[in-house]
C-alpha cells in the first residue's frame, strides 16, 4: 500500500475548488460522466489502431444510487488506470490526461471526441462528497488499484481485486448534499447534461412490453422484460452529415430537443465547419409572434456532445438568439468568464460564421421557393429585420431576400419595390416616398386614398420596423418612408401642380378665425388646404417624424430625448374646396356653425379611432338630434 501527498503547490486546494472553481455543484456529475466517456473513447481509439489488444465490445456507463450507504457510483468499461497512472493523472491536480492523450495521438485522435482538457474536472467530485474512491482496472495486464481520498490532500492507494476492465468512482455524499441521492434529481441532471453524449448511459432499469406469443389467449397479459434504462441518444442528428438526414429527421430531432414544443419549426440550418474552427449544429427558425415574447426554449451549447449552457450570449449574434437548436464546438473556451468569451477571437469568428450561414440559407430558401418564403415571411421577419438593424454584414446580405409586403399581399424585395414605384411616387424634389400602413383596418380610408392615386402601400407592422425605416433612409439615396395617415396624400407626395382654392382671401380668414374659436389649439394644429373637392373635408393626421420618434422610443433607443412624454399633437387638415366648408360659412347662426364644425371634427376623430368616452357619447347624442 502506498501513501503520499497530492502534488499541488497550494497547501489545501479542496476548499478552493469547493468554493470558487464551479459556481454550480451539480456539474460534478457532468464532469465524472465526461471522464467515463473519455476513458471509453480512448479505449475505442486504442483498439482501433491496434494499440490495445482487448475486445472493445459495447461498453456502457452506469450511474447507481446507494441510498442507504449514501453513495453514488459512476461505473465505466473504459480503458481504466494502473496504480502508476492513478498517481500520475489523479494526484496531479490540473494535469489533464485528456490533453496528454490528444497530444500523443495528435494525428489519429483529433476527431475522437475527447472532452476533458483542464485537468480539474475530477476534483469537482469534492463539491458534493467528503470522501471519494476510485476502483480501477486497466486494460493492460496489471492489478486493479483502489484510491481513497477524504478531501484532505492525503490519499491512500492500494491494490484491489476488481477483474473487469474499467473504472468505478464512488462518491460518499456529504451532509447537506443529499439531494444527489434522489432518483429524480440524478435523472434530471442526466437529461440536462448527458442527453446526447456518445456512450450509452444506464440509470436503473425499465419494464419493456414484449409481443404476445402466437398461441397466447385473448386476455393473457403481454409478457414483459426488465431492460437497461438508457437515458441518452448517443447519435444526435447534429453529429451526422446533412446528406444523411431527411426533412423528417430534422423535425424529429427538434421534438427530441424540445419535447414540450408542439409547433413545428419553419425550417432549419445545418451548421458544419471544421476550418478554421470546429463547429457543428442545427438551428431552427421557430414561429415567432410579433410581441417578441420571452422564449424559454433557447439555443443549447454543447462541447463534444456534453451540454454546457443555454446562455449563448456572445457566441451567437444577438438577433439569432431568437432561434432554437444546438451548437456544438470543442473550440469554444467554455470554463472561462463571459466577458473573456466576448473578446475571444475564435468566438468572434464563430459568431460571424453563423451570421453568414444563416444569411446564405435564407437566400437559398428564397431563391428555391419564393412562394413558400413569402408565406413564412410573417413568422421570420422579426429575426431578419432585427438582424438587418444590428449586423451590418447581415444588412447587406439581406438585400437579396428581405421582403416588403403590400396591403394587397404582394411581396417586393427592395429593388423590385424601387422599380415598381419610382415613376409614380417620386415627389417634386426628386425624393422617392415609400408609403406604408401599420394597420389595415385602422388606416383604411388613408390606404384607399393612396391607392386611388395609383400608389403602392406597404404593410409594415413589426415592432422594430420604425428603426429599420430609419436605417434604410440613412443608407439609400433620397428616399423617405411615410405612413399613409401622416398627412393628406397630396402633401405626402407633393407634385408640382396646385389646386386652386374656391375660397377667396376674405373667406379663408373668416374660416380660420371661426375654426380657431371652436377647435382646441392644444390638441390640433389647423391647416387649411385647397384640395380636390371630393377629398374628405376634415382629416386628422399625425406627422411622420413625431409618431416614429415615439414608436422608436417605445422599442428602445433611437428617439429624441423626452419625446415619449410629449402630449399627443395632431394636424387637422381642412379641405377648403369641399362643399361642406362653404355650407359652414354660409350658415346663419354662430351656434349652427359651431355645431357643424364640432360634428365634423368628431367624424374626423372617429375615423382615426380617437373618439372615446364622454366625447363619443356626446357625439352620438348630437347625431341623433340632427337626424330627428
What is the total residue count of the chain? 628
DSSP assignment of 248-282 equals: HHHHHHHHHH-TT--SPPSEEEEEEE-SSS-EEEE
Of 79 and 432, which has the nearer Cβ to ligand ADP?
A: 79
Residue of 568, 579, 591, 551 lying closest to 466 (CA atoms): 551
The answer to whether residues 224 and 207 touch, using CB atoms and an 8 Å cutoff, is yes
List Cβ neighbours of 580 (8 Å cut-off, separation of 6 or more).
Answer: 537, 596, 600
H or E stretch covering 592 = helix 590-607
Per-residue HEC secondary structure of 504-553 comes to CHHHHHHHHHHHHHHCCCCCEEEEEECCCCCCCCEEEECCHHHHHHHHHH
Report how far residue 467's alpha carbon sits from residue 387's, in angstroms, rounded to the nearest whole number.
12
Give 120 or 149: the residue with its C-beta nearer to ligand ADP: 120
Q: Rule CB under 6 A: is residue 39 a binding residue for ligand ADP? A: yes
35 binds Mg ion (CB under 5 A): yes
Least distance to ligand ADP from the beta carbon of 116, Å? 2
Instruction: Using CB under 6 A, count the residues that bind ligand ADP.
Output: 22
Question: Taking a C-beta distance cutoff of 8 angstroms, is the pair 155, 149 a contact?
Answer: yes
- Judged by CB under 5 A, the residue of 59, 78, 97, 121 near Mg ion is 121
What sign does the dihedral 490-493-499-501 (CA atoms) show?
positive
Q: Which does 373 bind (CB under 5 to 8 A by kind): ligand ADP, Mg ion, none?
A: none
Nearer to ligand ADP, 26 or 602 (CB): 26
CB of 49 to ligand ADP, least distance (A): 18
Helix intervals (H) in 80-196:
83-85, 97-104, 106-109, 183-194
Q: Does 76 bind ligand ADP (CB under 6 A)?
A: yes
HSE, side-chain direction, 13 A CA sphere, residue 177: 22
Q: Which is nearer to ligand ADP, 170 or 323 (CB)?
A: 170
Q: Which stretch binds Mg ion (CB under 5 A): 32-40, 152-160, 189-197, 592-600?
A: 32-40
**How near is the Cβ of 125 to Mg ion at its closest, in Å?**
11
Stretch of 33-41, 296-304, 401-409, 487-495 contacting ligand ADP, by CB under 6 A: 33-41
Binding mask 411-440 for Mg ion (x = CB under 5 A): ------------------------------
Site pattern 236..275 for Mg ion (x: CB under 5 A): ----------------------------------------
With cell 428617439, the residue in question is 559
Q: Which does 314 bind (CB under 5 to 8 A by kind): ligand ADP, Mg ion, none?
A: none
| Cα separation, 396 vs 618, whole angstroms | 54
Q: Rank residues 120 and 450 by Cβ distance to ligand ADP and give the closer one.
A: 120
Look at residues 607, 618, 619 and name the one whose alpha carbon lies nearest to residue 540.
Answer: 607
Spatial neighbors of 234 by CB under 8 A, at least 6 apart, are: 196, 197, 198, 199, 200
Sketch the per residue contact string, 104 through 123, with ligand ADP: x for CB under 6 A, - otherwise: ------------xxxxxxx-
Among 33, 43, 83, 90, binds ligand ADP (CB under 6 A): 90
Contacted entry of Mg ion, ligand ADP, none for residue 324, CB cut-off 5 to 8 Å set by kind:
none
Cis peptide before 276 (omega within 30 of 0): yes
Sign of CA dihedral 418, 424, 427, 429: positive
Residue whose CB is less far from ligand ADP, 81 or 231? 81
Question: Which range touches ligand ADP (CB under 6 A), out of 36-44, 318-326, 332-340, 394-402?
Answer: 36-44
Report which of 504, 483, 477, 581 is spatially closest to residue 535, judged by C-alpha positions: 581
Tell me how far, at minimum, the Cβ of 183 lies from ligand ADP, in Å: 23
Report how far residue 433's alpha carbon sits from residue 620's, in angstroms, rounded to the nearest whole number: 38
CB-CB contact of 204 with 177 (8 Å)? no
Q: Running DSSP on this structure, what letter comes out for residue 345? A: H
Q: Cβ of residue 37: shortest distance to ligand ADP, in angstroms?
A: 9
Query: Which lies closer to ligand ADP via its Cβ, residue 18 or residue 251?
Result: 18
Instruction: Assess 35 for contact with ligand ADP (CB under 6 A).
Output: yes
CB of 138 to ligand ADP, least distance (A): 9
Rank residues 30 and 605 by Cβ distance to Mg ion and give the closer one: 30
- Shortest CB 168 distance to ligand ADP, Å: 8
Beta strand 279-285 with 324-328 is antiparallel
For the bound state, the minimum distance from the C-beta of residue 315 to ligand ADP, rounded and expressed in Å, comes to: 21
Does 116 engage in binding with Mg ion (CB under 5 A)?
yes
Instruction: For Cα atoms 602, 608, 613, give the angle at the middle one, nearest 5 degrees.
Output: 55
What letters, b where the CB count within 10 A reaches 16 and e where it falls short, cover 571-602? Answer: bbbbbbbbebbbebeeeeeeeebebbbbbbbb
Q: Which does 112 bind (CB under 5 to 8 A by kind): Mg ion, ligand ADP, none?
A: none
Q: Which does 328 bind (CB under 5 to 8 A by kind): Mg ion, ligand ADP, none?
A: none
Give the one entry of Mg ion, ligand ADP, none that residue 96 binds, where binding means its C-beta sits below a cut-off of 5 to 8 angstroms depending on kind.
ligand ADP
The reply to whether 194 sits near ligand ADP by the rule CB under 6 A is no
According to the binding rule CB under 6 A, does residue 98 interact with ligand ADP?
Answer: yes
Assess 97 for contact with ligand ADP (CB under 6 A).
Answer: yes
Scanning 76-84, 298-306, 334-342, 364-372 for contacts with ligand ADP by CB under 6 A, the matching segment is 76-84
Position 27 contacts ligand ADP (CB under 6 A): no
Strands (E), 138-197: 144-149, 154-160, 166-173
Among 14, 28, 89, 253, binds ligand ADP (CB under 6 A): 89
Q: What is the per-residue binding string for ligand ADP in 148-167, x denoting contact by CB under 6 A?
A: -------------------x
User: How many angstroms separate the CA atoms of 580 and 586, rounded?
Assistant: 10
Binding part of the chain for ligand ADP, among 95-103, 222-230, 414-422, 600-608 by CB under 6 A, reads 95-103
Q: Which of 537, 569, 384 is nearest to 471 (CA)?
A: 384
Binding of ligand ADP by 81 (CB under 6 A): yes
Answer yes or no whether residue 166 interacts with Mg ion by CB under 5 A: no
Q: Which of 29, 36, 282, 572 binds ligand ADP (CB under 6 A)?
A: 36
Q: Which is nearer to ligand ADP, 124 or 541 (CB)?
A: 124
Burial (CB < 10 A; 0-12, 13-18, 19+), residue 421, is buried
Total residues binding Mg ion (CB under 5 A): 3
By CB under 6 A, name the binding residues for ligand ADP: 31, 35-36, 38-39, 76, 78, 80-81, 89-90, 96-98, 116-122, 167
By CB under 5 A, name the binding residues for Mg ion: 35, 116, 121
Amino acid at each position: 500500500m502506498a501513501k503520499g501527498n497530492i502534488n499541488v503547490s497550494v497547501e489545501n486546494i479542496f476548499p478552493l475548488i469547493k468554493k470558487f472553481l464551479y459556481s454550480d455543484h451539480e456539474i460534478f456529475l457532468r464532469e465524472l460522466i465526461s471522464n467515463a466517456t473519455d476513458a471509453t473513447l480512448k479505449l475505442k481509439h486504442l483498439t482501433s489502431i491496434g494499440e490495445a489488444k482487448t475486445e472493445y465490445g459495447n461498453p456502457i456507463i452506469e450511474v447507481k444510487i446507494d441510498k442507504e450507504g449514501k453513495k453514488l457510483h459512476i461505473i465505466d468499461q473504459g480503458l481504466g488506470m494502473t496504480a502508476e497512472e492513478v498517481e500520475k493523472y489523479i494526484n496531479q491536480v490540473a494535469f489533464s490526461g485528456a490533453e496528454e492523450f490528444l497530444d500523443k495521438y495528435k494525428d489519429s485522435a483529433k476527431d475522437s471526441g475527447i472532452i476533458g482538457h483542464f485537468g480539474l474536472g475530477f476534483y469537482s467530485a469534492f463539491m458534493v462528497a467528503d470522501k471519494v474512491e476510485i476502483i480501477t482496472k486497466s486494460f493492460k495486464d496489471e492489478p486493479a488499484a483502489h484510491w481513497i481520498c477524504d478531501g484532505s490532500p492525503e490519499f491512500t492507494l492500494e491494490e484491489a481485486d476488481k477483474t473487469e476492465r474499467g473504472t468505478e468512482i464512488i462518491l460518499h455524499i456529504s451532509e447537506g448534499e443529499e439531494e444527489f441521492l434522489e432518483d429524480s434529481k440524478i435523472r434530471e441532471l442526466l437529461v440536462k447534461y448527458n442527453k446526447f453524449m456518445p456512450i450509452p448511459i444506464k440509470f436503473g432499469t425499465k419494464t419493456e412490453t414484449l409481443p404476445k406469443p402466437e398461441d397466447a389467449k385473448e386476455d393473457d397479459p403481454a409478457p414483459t422484460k426488465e431492460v437497461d434504462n438508457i437515458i441518452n441518444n448517443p447519435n444526435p442528428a447534429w453529429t451526422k452529415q446533412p446528406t444523411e438526414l431527411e426533412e423528417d429527421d430534422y423535425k424529429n430531432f427538434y421534438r427530441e430537443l424540445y419535447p414540450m414544443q408542439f409547433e413545428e419549426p419553419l425550417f432549419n440550418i445545418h451548421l458544419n465547419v471544421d476550418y478554421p474552427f470546429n463547429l457543428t449544429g442545427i438551428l431552427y427558425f421557430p414561429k415567432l409572434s410579433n410581441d417578441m415574447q420571452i422564449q424559454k426554449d433557447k439555443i443549447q451549447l454543447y462541447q463534444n456532445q456534453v451540454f454546457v449552457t443555454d446562455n449563448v450570449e456572445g457566441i451567437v449574434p444577438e438577433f439569432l438568439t431568437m432561434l432554437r437548436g444546438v451548437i456544438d464546438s470543442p473550440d469554444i473556451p467554455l470554463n472561462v468568464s463571459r466577458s473573456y468569451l466576448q473578446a475571444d477571437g475564435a468566438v468572434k469568428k464563430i459568431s460571424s460564421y453563423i451570421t453568414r450561414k444563416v444569411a446564405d440559407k435564407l437566400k437559398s430558401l428564397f431563391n428555391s421557393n419564393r412562394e413558400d418564403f413569402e408565406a413564412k415571411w410573417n413568422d421570420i421577419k422579426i429575426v431578419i429585420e432585427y438582424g438587418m438593424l444590428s449586423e451590418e454584414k447581415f444588412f447587406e446580405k439581406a438585400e437579396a431576400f428581405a421582403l416588403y409586403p403590400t396591403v394587397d399581399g404582394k411581396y417586393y424585395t427592395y429593388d423590385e419595390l424601387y422599380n415598381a414605384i419610382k415613376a409614380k411616387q417620386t415627389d417634386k424634389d426628386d425624393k422617392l416616398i415609400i408609403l406604408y400602413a401599420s394597420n389595415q383596418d385602422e388606416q383604411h380610408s388613408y390606404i384607399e386614398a393612396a391607392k386611388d392615386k395609383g400608389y403602392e402601400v406597404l404593410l409594415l407592422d413589426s415592432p422594430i420596423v420604425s428603426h429599420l425605416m430609419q436605417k434604410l433612409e440613412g443608407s439609400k439615396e433620397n428616399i423617405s418612408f411615410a405612413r399613409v395617415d401622416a398627412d393628406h396624400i397630396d402633401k405626402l407626395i407633393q407634385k408640382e401642380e396646385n389646386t386652386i382654392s374656391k375660397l377667396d382671401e376674405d373667406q379663408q380668414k373668416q374660416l380660420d378665425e371661426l375654426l380657431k374659436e371652436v377647435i382646441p389649439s392644444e390638441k390640433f394644429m389647423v391647416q387649411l388646404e385647397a384640395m380636390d373637392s371630393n377629398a374628405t373635408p376634415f382629416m386628422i393626421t399625425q406627422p411622420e417624424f413625431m409618431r416614429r420618434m415615439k414608436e422608436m422610443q417605445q422599442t428602445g433607443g433611437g428617439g429624441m430625448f423626452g419625446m415619449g412624454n410629449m402630449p399627443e399633437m395632431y394636424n387637422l387638415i381642412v379641405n377648403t374646396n369641399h362643399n361642406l366648408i362653404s355650407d359652414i360659412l354660409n350658415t346663419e347662426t354662430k351656434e349652427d356653425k359651431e355645431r357643424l364644425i364640432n360634428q365634423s371634427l368628431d367624424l374626423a376623430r372617429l375615423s382615426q379611432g380617437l373618439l372615446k368616452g364622454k366625447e363619443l357619447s356626446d357625439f352620438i347624442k348630437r347625431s341623433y338630434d340632427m337626424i330627428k
